[in-house]
Amino acid sequence: MKFNKIRLLGHLGKDPISFKSKNDLLIVRFSIATNEGYGSHKKKKTLWHEIVAFGKTAELALKLLKKGSKVFLEGKLNYNVYEDKDGKKRSKACIILEQFLLIHSKKE
């Protein structure tokens, strides 16, 4: 059995950006910050996660999400392999968005 599933709860760092693929498919990118406590003093550590959405999911993300939005999301981990300016192979992790839930505070 293969299983690749990630669930995160965090806040968007910036407004999502969108562009079209060569096949005219909508692609949306954004990042979210998650926090975790560690140690006896519970210091917070912020982690940033790159999120990519396609098609209908991308349309919804672009319409509903903005900088500061709190979101619970589910997706799968993916690695993009590329060559840097020196010709070295690098990889960058991102999460392919499958579904999300916008979390509203009482103020909103």
Which domains does the chain show, CATH number per domain?
Answer: 6-103 (2.40.50.140)
Within 13 Å, how many C-alpha atoms sit on residue 44's CB side?
5
- What pLDDT shows up at residue 106? 58
Closest Cα to residue 15, out of 26, 31, 35, 39?
31
pLDDT digits (tens, 9 = 90+) for 38-97: 766 666 889 999 999 999 999 999 999 999 999 999 999 999 899 999 999 999 999 999
Within 13 Å, how many C-alpha atoms sit on residue 95's CB side?
22
CB 31 within 8 A of CB 48: yes
- What pLDDT shows up at residue 42? 65
CB 79 within 8 A of CB 85: no
| Calpha distance 40→48 (Å, rounded) | 23
CB 50 within 8 A of CB 17: no
CB 16 within 8 A of CB 9: no
